[in-house]
A and B are shown apart, each in its own frame.
Chain A
């Protein structure tokens, strides 16, 4: 798909919609559109983290593989959100699996070019890192709530 389609998606995705057209164009130059079929993996634990995914539509399961049990979903991520930040931090390897549960469309950024862009344009870099931090914080809060086992019987809470 052409850059224009990436641009259109960036103009409406909550992660990038309020950036300037120039900034969206800079980002579009590092990205492509990808489609994933149900059960197809976007990324695998332990592999080099070379991409950042803005989920446009569909549903993605963030999971860990438990020997003897298979994949254990931890959280799902839907259209309008993002997947993967391990590329920002050394050693840049994925810590979990991400698998499409439904047909999923994503804007996939090349991590190396994105890192270079962040260094070149620190203002844009800072804005996007803040957004990523916001998502990381939301996921952390959700994970903490899940740990509380809120809906368990009163005595077990």
Chain B
């Protein structure tokens, strides 16, 4: 039997989408689904948590989507997609058996190695939980490598919470501190109400700022306020990592679509330490 080639972006043509089969579809919320994809070729695309793939629907277009899970079998990919426009609407409507094109992986990943032996604080807002979920799954798979693991998750409403089954399992784990809050509760919600940066104050007893690695993903305003709160509690800028999203096209640093200040977020990002971004904080887009 021929051993499948393990592809890095350099080993495959980065402009050429490979065919993948949708093998499962899980509805997360009204407008969001999680798809598992299996390659139809022998080439395996190995993505790290934090990286993204370019997913294409034939005849419609191509969009960057983060990996949101870990492969159950070599070469599989998991993505959580929210329908906001033409391509994502098509992706969300896919079903097992449908085919799509995939290029990647692209960009930088979450600093999981740096976090070995450290407290880890993950702060997710809305769909920002998707790229952080893959980091969390990787952390939990090797839980012994990390000290305290703290996850703060804010969503718009209880109906917008992603990964409910995971959340209820994680809430039972004694080795994980998980706090969830919503902005707009329904009448059945008995949990916390308010914005996610407010949760940080509640968990300060669980982390040592100088030995903590924080990873944040969510709407940029939420990240801005989260950074301020983390700074207030003494986490150094070089230990605060963000995932930034910009519209992307080539995904390999050629077209300039994803530029933010001096960075091309498709290759310098999407994950960057705040210490690299802070000198450009006059860029109001961030």
Give A contacts to B, CB under 8 Å. Answer: 59, 61, 69-70, 73-76, 78, 80-81, 101, 138, 141-142, 145-146, 148-155, 157
Contacts and interface: CB of A to CB of B under 8 A. Distances in A.
Contacts of A74: 193
Contact of A150 (B84, B183, B193): B183
B126 interface: yes
Given A59-B192, A145-B225, A150-B183, 4 more contacts: A69-B187, A151-B218, A151-B219, A153-B84
Contact of A151 (B125, B189, B202): B125
B208 interface: no
4 A-B pairs with least C-beta separation: A151-B126, A151-B156, A150-B219, A145-B195
Q: Is the interface of A mostly helix, strand, loop or mixed?
A: mixed
B189 A73 contact: yes
Contacts, number: 66
Given A150-B125, A151-B126, A145 B192 contact: no
Nearest to A63: B193
Contact of A76 (B31, B194, B221, B222): B194
Contacts of B126: 150-151
Interface string B79-115: 0001010000000000000000000000000000000
B222 A80 contact: no
B185 A146 contact: no
B198 to A, nearest CB: 6
A73 B185 CA distance: 7
Given A150-B221, A151-B160, A80 B202 contact: yes
A146 B221 CA distance: 11
B72 interface: no
B173 interface: no
